Amino acid sequence: MRKYDSFSREHAGADPILSFLRRLRLDWLLHHFPPRLVQSLYVFVNGFITIGLLALLALVSRNPFVFPSLGPTAYLLFFSPLAKTCSPRNTIFGHAIGIICGYAAFVLTGAGALPFGLHPGVFWPRILAAALSLSATGAFMVLLEVSHPPAGATTLIISLGIISKPGELVIIEVAVFLLVAQALVINRLAGLPYPLWSAAASIKPVNGGTE
């Protein structure tokens, strides 16, 4: 009981798990289980649902609706949804910047001359493409104030030729849109002021809490 009361006071109005449990009248779980365990289960369930749905869509459509950098994005959207880097604006634009920079580096350096994984030794165009794409992605995210760290993985996936067809790049951005839409629904159901677009203009105190 003491752990629950302490957790409730510390996170009232700001923690997505506590807010979600209260809305579903399941906050009694915190009376019986450690708060960290409940938090981890919350992230587990939402990550499983969102990525599972996108994986199913990938299987049915035979398109890359699931890719490595989507994992850390999903984690951030459910573990720290009110952070500026997790807003729809930063998530969508961040990955878009990664896609553009990754493909530009892939084309300009000639990294696509050989299929990914087939070169037996050091392939300098691919090394240059990786360095160029990541540095450009970071620079543009800073310049445009749309920081979203998982976009750094997106740009490498493309510049290294793992996913490089123009049509597949569109699918990547569509997958990001779909993940953000799922996060918006789930976080709003949890009673959180997850922003429709920009975090700075949307976050307000919840249930009497403070920012």
What pLDDT band is residue 15 in, cutting at 50, 70 and 90? low
Q: How do residues 120-179 score in pLDDT, each as one tens digit?
A: 666 889 999 999 999 999 999 999 999 999 999 999 999 999 998 999 999 999 999 999
Using one digit for the tens of pLDDT, what is the confidence trace for 87-134?
Answer: 999 999 999 999 999 999 999 999 887 776 666 666 889 999 999 999
Q: Which residues contact 175 (CB under 8 A, 6 or more apart)?
A: 54, 64, 65, 66, 67, 70
- Indicate whether 150 belongs to any domain: yes
**Beta carbons of 90 and 79 less than 8 angstroms apart:** no
Structure tokens given for 80: 């720290």
Q: Does residue 33 sit within a domain?
A: yes
Domain assignment of residue 37, yes or no: yes
In a domain, 208, yes or no: no
Decide: residue 1, CB within 10 A, 0-12 exposed, 13-18 middle, 19+ buried. exposed
Q: How far is CA 153 from CA 7, 35, 85, 135, 142, in A?
A: 34, 31, 15, 12, 16
pTM here? 0.80
Q: Does 45 fall in a domain?
A: yes
Residue in 159, 110, 151 with CA at minimum distance from that of residue 133: 159
Per-residue pLDDT at 27 exceeds 70: no
Residue 209 domain-assigned (yes or no): no
| Number of structural domains the chain divides into | 1
135 occurs within a structural domain: yes
Q: Give the domain extent around 87.
A: 2-202
